[in-house]
Amino acid sequence: MEMVIVPSWDDPARPPEPALLDALRAAHAAGAKIVGLCMGAFVVAAAGLLHRRQATTHWRWMADFQQRYPDVRTDKDVLYIDEDDVVTSAGTAASIDCCLHLVRKIWGADTAAHVARQLVVPPHRQGGQSQYVALPVQNTRQGDNFSQALEWVTANLQQTLSLDRVAEKACMSRRSFTRRFQQTTGNSFAQWLLNQRLIAAQRFLEKSDRSIEYIAETVGFPSTTSLRRHFLKHLNTSPSRYRREFRGR
């Protein structure tokens, strides 16, 4: 897969050079994926590649973007938008999330998680998550009760994992656990748990020939229908298609 990334743009009032816009259009026409990170969305829009499509950019420049490109359907409350051949993201932190999303799509969940660990950022924040959430810093202390509780969760995804049960595992009150969890991950426990189950399902699909039914049960989804629904909503594909596309690379 060929990909052209516009990492940002220094001044929305400065129009991109015609040669740059021509190069983007030519790359897109040749089948390359075009990515506009943060204010890079201005350049992608100037090339005409966002006409009547969904896109996002840094919230501070959203009004300016909407004024310049009224034909683009903007969403200021997301981290990134993947339209398959064209991808845009919000501000700096969201750009990291967007790039991890692209790594995950191309090389799989394990590679994305490895890169995230090197960057000391969460491995998976969904594109629909609000861009106003600050990039969370992973501040868990290895070996403490909180960290051990989260490790226990990821090793027991097939179980019913309520907030109260996990807080008890961490030897914390529900309130203290919820506060610590939000500070540490930037997510609610429910969203984080869903993300862990999706990542685990991706790993099964990438590395095994297990049935969709087995995978759904093993990672904690109540049914294959539930697994498929969440894959479609959050990954814009089905489990079977994800496996085929990953194996075909």
User: What mean pLDDT is predicted for residues 14-24?
Assistant: 95
Q: How confident is the model at residue 72 (pLDDT cuts 50, 70, 90)?
A: very high
User: What mean pLDDT is predicted for residues 202-206?
Assistant: 89
Q: Is the pLDDT of residue 195 over 90?
A: no
Q: Count Cα atoms within 13 angstroms, Cβ side, for 46.
A: 22
The mean pLDDT of the chain is: 87
Overall pTM surpassing 0.85 (yes/no): no
pLDDT recorded at residue 97: 87
Q: For 44-53, 195-204, 240-249, which range has the lowest pLDDT when averaged over its residues?
A: 240-249
pLDDT recorded at residue 121: 59
Q: For 49-53, 108-112, 151-155, 159-163, which range has the lowest pLDDT when averaged over its residues?
A: 108-112
Q: Is the pLDDT of residue 142 over 80?
A: no
The percentage of the chain sitting over the pLDDT mark of 90, rounded to a whole number, equals 61
Q: Is the pLDDT of residue 112 over 90?
A: no
pLDDT recorded at residue 235: 78
Top-confidence range, 111-120, 126-135, 181-190, 197-206 = 197-206
pLDDT recorded at residue 222: 96
- 231 burial (CB, 10 Å; 0-12 / 13-18 / 19+) is buried
Q: For 34-38, 108-112, 233-237, 245-249, which range has the lowest pLDDT when averaged over its residues?
A: 245-249
**Domains of the chain by residue range:** 3-119, 145-186, 191-247
For 191-247, CATH number? 1.10.10.60
Q: For 13-17, 139-143, 203-207, which range has the lowest pLDDT when averaged over its residues?
A: 139-143
Q: Is the pLDDT of residue 68 over 90?
A: yes
Q: How confident is the model at residue 140 (pLDDT cuts 50, 70, 90)?
A: very low
Q: Is the pLDDT of residue 70 over 60?
A: yes
Q: How confident is the model at residue 201 (pLDDT cuts 50, 70, 90)?
A: very high
Pick the CATH number of 3-119 from 3.40.50.880, 3.40.50.300, 1.10.10.10, 3.40.630.10: 3.40.50.880
Query: Which residues lie across from 224 on neighbouring strands?
Result: none
